Structures are given as C-alpha cells and as structure tokens.
Amino acid sequence: MNQPIELRKSRDFGQIISDSFTFFRENLKPLFRSLLIICGLFILIGTVTSVAQYMSTISLYSGNLNINSNDTYQVSSYTYSYFGAILFNMLVTLLLEAFIHLVTLSYLAVYLQKNNQQPTFEEVWGYFRFYFFRVLGSSILLFLLIVVGFCLCIIPGIYLAIVFYLVIPIMVMENTSFSYAFNKSFQLIKENWWFVFGVIFVMSLIVGVANSIASVPLAVIPMVARFVSQKSYTLPLIIFFSLLKNLLMLSYALPTIAIAMCYFKLSEEKEGIGLIGRIENFGKTTDEGPNLPSEEY
C-alpha cells in the first residue's frame, strides 16, 4: 500500500509537480466521484451549449448572412444565435471551472483534516456547501480586482492574478475570512511569485495539451463541414467531442492540487505548522491506528 501524501510539507518545484500527479492518481476514484456528482449538471449544460455554438458556426460558414443592396452584411438570426451561444458557453465554462476548483479544495481540506485519509462524497459535499457562497462572492471580487489591474496596465493584472490564486485555498484550508486570506496571500508569495507562476504555467500547459484532444477536432469540424456535402456524421461528432471536452475539464483538478501544494509549501516554510504537529505527535501511538475521529485524539 502506498504511503499517503503528506500535504503540509515543503517541496521544491519538481516535487510539487510530481506529488500533484501522485495525489491525483492515488485519489482518482473518490475525487472524480465527487467532481462528477457535483459538477455533472454543468458538464451536461456545457455539452449542450458547446454543440449549439459549433452548429451555429457551421451555419455561418454555410453562408447564412444576408447582404443588402449596399453590399453590407446584415445581422441575421444565425449571427445572434452564434454570439449568444458563445457567451453562454463561456459562462457555463467559467462556472464549471469554479465548481471543479472548489470541489478539489474541499476534498483536500477534508483529506487534511482526516490525517491524510481519503474523504467520502458526503464529507466533500458538506465542505462544498459550507464554502460555496463565501467563495463565490470572493471570486467575483478578485475577478474585478484583476480586471482593474489589467485596465491600469497588463503587468499589474498578471501579478495580481498569480497572487490571488492563493486566496481561495487559504480561505478553505484555514476556514478564514476573505480579508485575512487576501492579506496572507501577499505575505506568502513575497519573494516566491516566480515559483508560483512557474507551477501554474506548467500545470496549465499540461492540462491545456490534454484538453486539445477534444478542442482541436471541434475547431476543425465546422471548417471541414463547409466543404463536405455529407453532413449526417457532423452532429454526432460534435456531440461526442463536446461531451469529451467538458469531461476533460475535470482534469483542471490537477492545477488546483498544485496551487494547494504551493500554499502548503509557502505556509510550511513561514509558519512550520506541519513540522510543529509532527513534533507534538512524535512518540504518540495508539493501537487503533491513524483513522481515529478527531474527538478521540
């Protein structure tokens, strides 16, 4: 049996990447069960909106725009449906990413509280419900601050985006307020901005390549359908790859795990919570093993 991954631990860059994959692999079944149950509705909605978007794209490629006597394009119903489908699909995608992020953090928080034991769905769901509205409001505020940063200048926006990646993990792992997590994120990332940026960049690149398995065919199908007369297979292909695309989005749990690992590394180096806990528990053993509920410690 593999040794459970210790979350509160200082790691270098390579260890964070490798341990994120190890944790993901060893907790794949219970984590994906929670993700599928909680995020399943958005996966279905995302599939429907994605199909609508690409079918609208095919309609536009087929020449459904009208031209008036002055040779200027009129905005047709196809154009409205096309841009409407894009906007709605973007909204659903953002919500799905947010749900995946919070479910994964909830899983990690329960895993940590249970002393490195795999959580049940009921435990993850309880954490998810508890933090949902708090995280939702905080995420909207962080998004607005990032937008302001990009409006002032692109560089401040990028800097703030990396710093703010730590705010939600701090809120969930420490069960604290937004203001506390906001201030602590700046304290933790001081002199470590490039480290966190590198982890996020590498993990996002890996997940992006994996998701291209579905996104690339979806981009090609509308262009091919413009020149191929037989379209009986077009809709089934779009449905298949749209569903695959939304299912592959569950892999965004990987960057979330890596970000949490960054938080644990920085927190451990500055506060040593995990080390203090190991020192306090040194020599304390029980016949029952490590699976005792918290009230029996």
Task: Round to whole Å and give the CA distance between 184 and 156.
Answer: 18
Residue 127, CB-side half-sphere exposure with 13 Å CA sphere: 26
Say what the pLDDT of residue 65 is: 46
Q: Is pLDDT at 78 greater than 90 in this prediction?
A: no
Output the six-digit token pair for 85. 């489908």
Residue 51, CB-side half-sphere exposure with 13 Å CA sphere: 15
Q: What is the pTM of this model?
A: 0.83
Lowest mean pLDDT of 81-85, 105-109, 116-120, 206-210, name the range: 81-85
Confidence of residue 226 (pLDDT cuts 50, 70, 90): low
Say what the pLDDT of residue 43 is: 92
Task: Round to whole Å and give the CA distance between 64 and 171.
Answer: 50
Task: Round to whole Å and give the CA distance between 32 and 251.
Answer: 9
- Name residue, tokens 């119903």: 77
Q: Is pLDDT at 63 greater than 70 in this prediction?
A: no
DSSP letter, residue 232:
T
Q: Is pLDDT at 52 greater than 60 in this prediction?
A: yes
Confidence of residue 211 (pLDDT cuts 50, 70, 90): confident
Say what the pLDDT of residue 288 is: 40
Confidence of residue 93 (pLDDT cuts 50, 70, 90): confident
Q: What is the mean pLDDT of residues 125-140?
A: 92
Say what the pLDDT of residue 184 is: 93
Q: How many helices (H) and strands (E) does the chain have?
A: 11, 2
Backbone angles phi, psi at 149, to 5 degrees: -60, -40
Interior CA angle at 137 toward 132 and 138, to 5°? 100
Say what the pLDDT of residue 197 is: 94
Which of 40, 46, 56, 43 has its CA nearest to residue 89? 46
Helix or strand or coil: residue 49? Answer: helix
- Could you read off the pLDDT of 18-50 as tens digits, one per residue? 999 999 999 999 999 999 999 999 999 989 888
Q: Is pLDDT at 218 greater than 90 in this prediction?
A: no
According to DSSP, the residues that pair with 74 across neighbouring strands are: 66
Task: Round to whole Å and give the CA distance between 37 and 229.
Answer: 40
CB neighbour list of residue 133: distance below 8 Å, 6 or more residues apart = none
Say what the pLDDT of residue 215 is: 83
Helix (H) or strand (E) holding 239: helix 234-248
Rg (CA), the chain: 23
Amino acid at 94: L
Backbone angles phi, psi at 177, to 5 degrees: -80, 165
Q: Is pLDDT at 271 greater than 50 in this prediction?
A: yes
Q: If you average pLDDT over every residue of the chain, what do you get?
A: 82
Output the six-digit token pair for 90. 């973007």
Q: Decide: 93 and 107 in contact? Cβ < 8 Å.
A: no
Confidence of residue 174 (pLDDT cuts 50, 70, 90): very high
Q: What is the mean pLDDT of residues 149-169?
A: 86
